[in-house]
């Protein structure tokens, strides 16, 4: 079913459908909030991740740190940021990775006022830019 | 009787907590932000609330995906700062006010707001960063806190209209509490920001300014803002701003805006802060 927010570009709304898809993935990510679990994941990544019944695609995305893929497969940023924290990546560095801009350029964009809303409201605005 | 005298709106960007904890609040990046709160620290030292009713969202800390209450009221005698993946923040334990919490919980349910009661709850940066911004680094927080956690992580967050109505119910609850207490209500989160995917970094300063104007002058109208507008105009995480409407609902229709501060950026986020006093 089409949703009102489907046409917002570069955005995945974590709605009930995404939440259901990403449940075990998100529970894996959030488990890394605690030191004992961080230690267990560090000692044996595959052994630890296999205690969470996620899909093979989700498992690969987590192990390979595919930050956009994780969101598309049902992950939510507040959960995937715990996996990022495990790898020593903070929110701003994570945004640098997801946008493909890299930390330096992303930080510079934020310092100069952030990503403008103009041209970033509708998917059609992004598609036009691709054509151009 | 207890009474609400003022409201504080405040972003709760985790990086601001880190800056305070690391002692880098005076550098070129964070300096201007903490300067914007100097007035506020002085103001709250004079205002001296007996209790803070603090509306915030938990970031999958006390609540992971297993349990997602839309509104959860803290009813504990204390709340420990949580480990969010980097170790707990080195800030004081947050003391609660169990009797007032219990009274508010009963009053809200009888007033048809079916909140979840939390007798144990760790609190994350959503709650502790606003305390840091308003009080700095005291040995103990100067007053007890009654926390209200709102789900804004899994869509949909409660509607702004519902949050505004809840604020009014919170006011009825507090004003029917027998002890003479002065209560300040905090609404936290926002302003425009998007943390996720390729549109991360979105900031909409014009929209934020209009949001603040409406919050002060026409909250009935502002509370009608639909989710799609928050998502599109203020970013997927900007929807946190519905929580400011719980605070606003707890105040008088007429308020005096005694302070407003806005700054871009803190990490990925526009920092917004206001102090409102009942007129």
Q: Is this complex scored with an ipTM above 0.90? A: yes
The answer to whether A97 faces chain B, any CB pair under 8 Å, is no
How does pLDDT run across A37-49, given as a tens digit for each residue? 999 999 999 999 9
pLDDT value at A132 more than 70: no
Closest CA to B63 of B90, B78, B84: B84
Q: Where are the domains of chain A?
A: 15-89
pLDDT value at A8 more than 80: yes
Q: Which two tokens stand for residue A6?
A: 């489907």
Mean pLDDT of B139-161: 98
Per the annotation, the verdict on B125 as an active-site residue is yes
How does pLDDT run across B184-217, given as a tens digit for each residue? 999 999 999 999 999 999 999 999 999 999 999 9
Confidence (pTM): 0.97
pLDDT of residue A129: 77
**B21 — pLDDT class (breaks 50, 70, 90):** very high
For chain B, what is the mean pLDDT? 97
Rounded to whole angstroms, how far apart are CA atoms B275 and B259?
A: 5
**B82 — pLDDT class (breaks 50, 70, 90):** very high
Report how many Cβ contacts below 8 Å link chain A to chain B. 146
Contacts of B33 in chain A (CB under 8 A): none
Query: What is A15-89's CATH number?
Result: 1.10.700.10
* Catalytic, out of B12, B97, B103, B125: B125
pLDDT value at B154 more than 80: yes
Mean pLDDT of B29-53: 98
The answer to whether A106 faces chain B, any CB pair under 8 Å, is yes
Rounded to whole angstroms, how far apart are CA atoms B190 and A91?
A: 15
Of all residues in chain B, the percent with pLDDT exceeding 90 is 98
Contacts of A10 in chain B (CB under 8 A): 197-200
How does pLDDT run across A99-108, given as a tens digit for each residue? 999 999 999 9
Give phi and psi for B248, each to the nearest 5: -65, -40
Instruction: Fill in the DSSP letter of residue B238.
Output: G
Rounded to whole angstroms, how far apart are CA atoms A33 and A128?
A: 41
- Give the residues across from B6 on adjacent strands: B184, B277
Task: Tell me which chain A residue has its CA closest to the CA of residue B228.
Answer: A5
Give phi and psi for B42, each to the nearest 5: -65, -45
Mean pLDDT of B41-67: 97
pLDDT value at B152 more than 60: yes
The answer to whether B116 faces chain A, any CB pair under 8 Å, is no
* Catalytic, out of B193, B197, B227, B273: B193
* Signed CA dihedral, B158, B164, B170, B176: sign only: negative
pLDDT value at B180 more than 50: yes
Contacts of A15 in chain B (CB under 8 A): 154-156
Report the 10 Å Cβ neighbour count for B269. 32
pLDDT of residue B66: 96
Strand order in the sheet with B71-74: B116-118, B71-74, B145-150, B51-56, B182-188, B3-10, B269-278, B255-266
A95 in helix, strand or coil? helix
The answer to whether B228 faces chain A, any CB pair under 8 Å, is yes
Rounded to whole angstroms, how far apart are CA atoms A50 and A53?
A: 7
CA atoms within 13 A on the CB side of B190: 31
pLDDT of residue B87: 86
Q: Which two tokens stand for residue B227?
A: 């989710």
Mean pLDDT of B141-159: 98
CA atoms within 13 A on the CB side of B93: 8
Q: How far is A36 from chain B (nearest CA, A)?
A: 11
**A131 — pLDDT class (breaks 50, 70, 90):** low
How does pLDDT run across A42-79, given as a tens digit for each residue? 999 999 999 999 999 999 999 999 999 999 999 999 99
Contact B197 A76 (CB under 8 A): no
Contacts of B264 in chain A (CB under 8 A): 110, 113-114
pLDDT value at A29 more than 80: yes
Closest CA to B127 of B58, B209, B194, B196: B58
Mean pLDDT of B1-28: 97
Closest CA to A10 of B205, B151, B208, B232: B232
**A1 — pLDDT class (breaks 50, 70, 90):** confident
Mean pLDDT of B157-177: 98
How does pLDDT run across B40-49, given as a tens digit for each residue? 999 999 999 9
B263 in helix, strand or coil? strand
């Amino acid at each position: 079913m089409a949703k009102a927010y489907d046409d917002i570009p570069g955005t995945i709304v974590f709605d009930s459908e995404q939440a259901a898809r990403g449940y075990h993935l998100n529970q894996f990510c959030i488990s890394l909030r605690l030191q004992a679990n961080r230690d267990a994941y560090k000692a044996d990544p595959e052994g630890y991740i296999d205690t969470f019944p996620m899909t093979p695609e989700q498992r690969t995305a987590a192990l390979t740190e595919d930050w956009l893929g994780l969101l598309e497969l049902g992950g939510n940023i507040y959960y995937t940021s715990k996996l990022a924290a495990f790898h020593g990546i903070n929110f701003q560095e994570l945004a640098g990775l997801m946008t493909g801009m890299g930390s330096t350029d992303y930080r510079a964009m934020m310092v100069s006022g952030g990503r403008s809303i103009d041209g970033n409201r509708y998917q059609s605005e992004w598609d036009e830019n691709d054509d151009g | 009787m207890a009474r609400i005298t003022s409201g504080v709106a405040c972003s709760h960007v985790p990086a601001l907590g880190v800056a305070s904890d690391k002692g880098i609040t005076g550098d070129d990046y964070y300096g201007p932000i903490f300067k914007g709160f100097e007035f506020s620290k002085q103001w709250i030292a004079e205002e001296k609330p007996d209790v803070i009713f603090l509306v915030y969202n938990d970031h999958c800390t006390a609540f992971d995906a297993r349990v997602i209450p839309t509104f959860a009221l803290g009813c504990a005698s204390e709340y420990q700062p949580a480990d969010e993946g980097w170790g707990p923040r080195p800030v004081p334990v947050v003391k609660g006010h169990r009797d007032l919490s219990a009274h508010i919980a009963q009053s809200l349910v009888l007033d048809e707001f079916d909140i979840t009661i939390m007798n144990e709850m760790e609190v994350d940066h959503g709650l502790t960063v606003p305390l840091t911004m308003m009080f700095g680094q005291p040995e103990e927080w100067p007053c007890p806190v009654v926390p209200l956690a709102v789900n804004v992580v899994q869509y949909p967050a409660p509607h702004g209209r519902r949050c505004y109505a809840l604020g009014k119910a919170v006011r009825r609850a507090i004003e029917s509490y027998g002890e003479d207490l002065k209560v300040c209500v905090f609404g936290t989160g926002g302003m425009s920001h998007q943390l996720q995917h390729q549109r991360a970094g979105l900031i909409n300063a014009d929209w934020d300014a209009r949001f603040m104007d409406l919050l002060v002058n026409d909250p009935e109208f502002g509370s009608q803002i639909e989710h799609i507008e928050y998502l599109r105009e203020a970013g997927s995480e900007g929807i946190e701003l519905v929580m400011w409407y719980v605070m606003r609902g707890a105040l008088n229709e007429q308020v005096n805006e005694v302070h407003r501060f806005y700054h871009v950026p803190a990490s990925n986020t526009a920092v917004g802060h206001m102090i409102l006093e009942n007129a």
